[in-house]
Structure 1
Amino acid sequence: MKTKSLNFRLIISFGVSICFFSAIIFMLSIKAFNSYYYEDIYRTLEENETIIRITDIDDFIKGKNRDIRKIEEKVWVKTNENVLIRKFKDGRSNITEQILLKVEDDIKKQEKDSKRYVMDVEDRQLFYVITKYKISRNDSKKKATDKKYSSIKTSEGSCYYKVSFKWKVEDDTLEKRLFIQICISFLLGIGMMFLVAFYLSRYLTRPLVELESYVGNISNRELNVPIKMSRDDEIGFLANSIEKMRKELLKYDEDQKFKLHAVSHELKTPIMVIKSYLDAIKRGLYPKGNLDASLEVIDEECNRLEKLVYNLLYMQRLDYLDSEIKNREKVNLKEIVQEVIKSYSLQLKQLDMQLNLDDVVIYSNYNQLKVIVENILDNQIRYAKTLIKISLKEDSEKIYLNFFNDGESIEKIEDIFKLFKKGKKGQSGIGLYIVKRILKIYDGKIYARNVENGVWFEIEIEKC
C-alpha cells in the first residue's frame, strides 16, 4: 500500500512540475511572439539609415525610399526658431488631427535621431517611428530662392522629421490561430510527458517493490530465498548488495546453529561423566576402585568443563573484537612465553623443553597474546611424546613464533584450525580456532606442517 502511494505521489509531483514549467514556457512563448510581432512592425517603419543628409527636399517628400507595405508617412520641418511646419496635405487619411497634435508634441520632446512610439486610439494601437533628418547647405540655398518655401525660414541646422505610421491589424485571426496551435502543441507535449512520467515511475518502482518483498523475507528470517534481479543500474547494485548481505546472514545463521549444536554436545559429555560418577559414589560404588581416584576423575572433568566454558565465552567475545583491538600496549612476547611455560610446569615435567627465545617487543594486547601461547602449548603437551621446541625470532617486518612437538603426523592438517574440528586426542576443537581468530585481528597467520619426526606450528605476526 505504501508503494502504491509512493508511485502515485511520484506521478502527481512529476505532472505538477511539468504543468508548472509548461505554463511558464507558454507565457514566455506568447511574450516572445508579441515582441517579435511588434519588432517586425517597428522595423517596417524604420529607415535603414537613421541619420542622412537631405539634398533634395522634393524627392524626400515624394518618398522615393518609401516601403511598399501599408505604411503612411508624413513629414514635418523644424525651423531654427523651433517651429514645426507640416509638409503634407490634409487629404484622405486615418491620421486624425488629434493624433497629429500628439505626434507634434512627441517631435518637440524627442532628443534622439530615431525613436519608437505606440498610441492607443479607440481600442486600436497605432505604431509610429519619428526619424530626424538634417538639412544640408545645398538644400538650404534652394529653399531660399524658391518662392514656394520662401516663407519658411530654414538654414543649415534645420531638421526634417519623417513619421511613419502603421496600425495594428484589426483582424487577429492569425494571431489567435497561432496561440491555439501553441496550446495544442503544449497539451500534446504535456500528455506525452505524463506517459513518460508514468513509464519511468513504473520502471523505477517495480524493482523497488520486488526488493521490498525480498527484504521482507530477510526480516522474517527466510534467508534461503535468493534475490534474482539482473540490472546494471543503481537498483541492480543495491540488489546485489542486499543479496550479499543475505548470504552473509545465512552463513552467520548456519554458523550459530552449528555452534549451538556443537557446544551442547561438548558440554553434554563432561556433565554426563560427572553425574554418573556422583550417582555411583552416592550408592557406595567407586568406578575407579576407590573414592580418591573417582573424585580425581570428577575434578578433571570439572576442570575440562570450566576450560570449555571459558573458551566458549572467549570465542563469543572474538565476534566483537574482529573490527578493533582494545587496550594495546608494548609487551615483551618472550616474557609471556616464559610465564605460560611456568604455569604448565607440572604437565611439562615428563617432557624435554628446548627454548630459543629472543627479546621481542610487540605493540599488542597482553591477554590476547597469552591466550595464543596457552592454547598452542596446551596442544603441544597433549600430542608430544618426549620433546617440545619453542623459538621466537623477528626481522624488520615480521615476528616468528614457532612450536614443535615430536608427536604423530596430522592427517587432515587443513582442518585443525576449524571450529570444533578435533584431533585424535583433542578435547573440544576450540583452542586452535581461537588462536587463528586472534591472529586474524593482528593480520597474523598460523601454519601447521608435518615433518619427518613431528609437527611444526609456525606463527607470523606483522609488525605495527
Structure 2
Amino acid sequence: MNWRLWSFHKKVWAFLLIFTYGSILLSVLLISYIYQEVYVKAEEDRLLTLGNELATLHQPGSLSEVFIQKAEAHNDVSETQVYAVENPRELSACLPFEIDYQTFISEEERRELLSGERLIKMGYEERLDRHVLAVIVPLVEDRVLDGILYVYVPISTIQEVFLPATPILVLLILVLFVVFYMVGLRFTNYLTRPIYEMQLATQKISEGDFSTVVPIHTNDELGQLARSFNHMAIALQKEEERKQEFLSNVSHELRTPLSYVKGYSEVLLEEKDLSADQKEFVSIIHDESDRLGNLVNDLLDLARLQGDSYPLTLQPIVLSTLIEETITSYLPSAKHKKINLAFSSDESIIANIDPNRIKQVLHNFIQNSLYHCKEEDTITITMTQSETAFVTLSISDSGPGIPKEALPHIGERFYRTDFARTRKYGGTGLGIAISKAIIAKHGGSMKIESEFDQGTTITIKLPLNQQ
C-alpha cells in the first residue's frame, strides 16, 4: 500500500500507533535491561562478595573440615547455597543437580581459576526447575588450586520478578489505551479538521463559489493558513465581481453599435446600385455583426446568470412535455442527417424549474450532439427519478466522443474542441458554460462523461417539485 495515497488523517493515526507500539517495545526492552542490569547484577555482586569473604577464611593447604563447615553453614539458613570442594569434579556429588564436569568447567576456565579469576555461571536446571546463578571462587596458593567455593542461588525469571505487579500493569495498559484512543481521536480531528475544511472550501471555489469562508479555530500555522485562504477567497470573489461587471458593461455597451452596424448593413444589402463585390463585403459585415451580436448576448446572459441580476422563474413543470417539445424542433434536422433521436418519457415526474432556461440547456446539448454525430448515430434522452429530491436527465450520443485531455476543460468560457465551428456554424464557445450556470442556478448538478470514439453522456440533476 502506497502511503503517499493515504489521507492526512490516516497518516496521523499511523504515526500515533507507531509511536505507541514503539513506546511499548522500548518499555519491554527497558524492563529486560532492568532485570539484567539491576536484579541479576545485584545477585552476582552479592554472590561474589560472599565467596570472597569465605575465601579469606581459607588457610593454605588442603581444605579443613572446619573451613568446609563454616562455608556450608549458610545452606541451612539461606537460599544461597555454598559448597567447598578440593576437586571441581566433586561438585557432581555435592550439588542437588547433575553436572557434566567436562562441559561445566573447560580447560580454559580451569586456567582462569588457577590465575585467581572468578567464574560466573547462569543457566536452567531441570531438577530444580529454576534458573541458577552461580559464582566459582578459586582457593589458590602459589598457583596451586587448593579447592573451590561454589556459591549459587536460584534466581527468579523476569516474569516472576514482575508477576506481583501484573494486574496493575494490565489495568494501567487498558487505561492508557482508552486515554490514548480518546486523546488520539481528538488530536487527529484537531489537526485534520482545518485541512478538511480547506479542502471542501477549495472544491467550492473551483466550482465558482467564491463566498466560501474557512472557520479559524486557532492562531497557529493552521489558523494563519485558514486566514490567508479566506483573504484569497475574498480577493477572488472581488475579482470575479469586477470581471462580471466588466463583461456586463462591455456587452451592454457593444449591443447598441452592433445593432447599428447590422441595421445599416441590411439597408445596404437592399441597395440595387452596389456591385457584386460590394454586396459580398456588406454581406460579410452583416454576418460578422450578427455573430458578434450573438456573442455579446451570450456574454451578457452568462454574466447575469453568474450574478444575482437574473432571477429564475421557477414553477412545477411536467418535464417530459418540455423535453418532447424541444426534441420535436430537431426531428427534421435529425432526419436529414439520418440520426436516430430517441426519448423515454415519464409523465409522472414534475420538476421545479424555469422552463425557458431548461429548454435553453436542452437546445445547447442537443445541438452539440447533432453537430458531432454522423449518419446512423443515435442520440438518446432518458429521464429517471433515482433520488427523492432530484430527477436525473441523461443525454447520450454515439458520436466521436471527447478527447481525454479536453474533457476537464468542457464548460470553460470560449473553450471548443473544434475551433473551426466558430466560423462555419457561428458557435461562441459559451453554450455549455451558460448551461452549467443555469443548472447551478437551479441547485442542480451536471456531469460529462466521454470516451474518444465511444460517444458522450451528459448527466443533469434537477430538483423535483416537493409539493
TM-score normalised by L of structure 2: 0.43
Higher RCO by CA contacts (8 Å cutoff, separation 6 or greater):
1
Pick the structure with greater CA Rg: 1
Structure richer in helix, relative to its length: 2
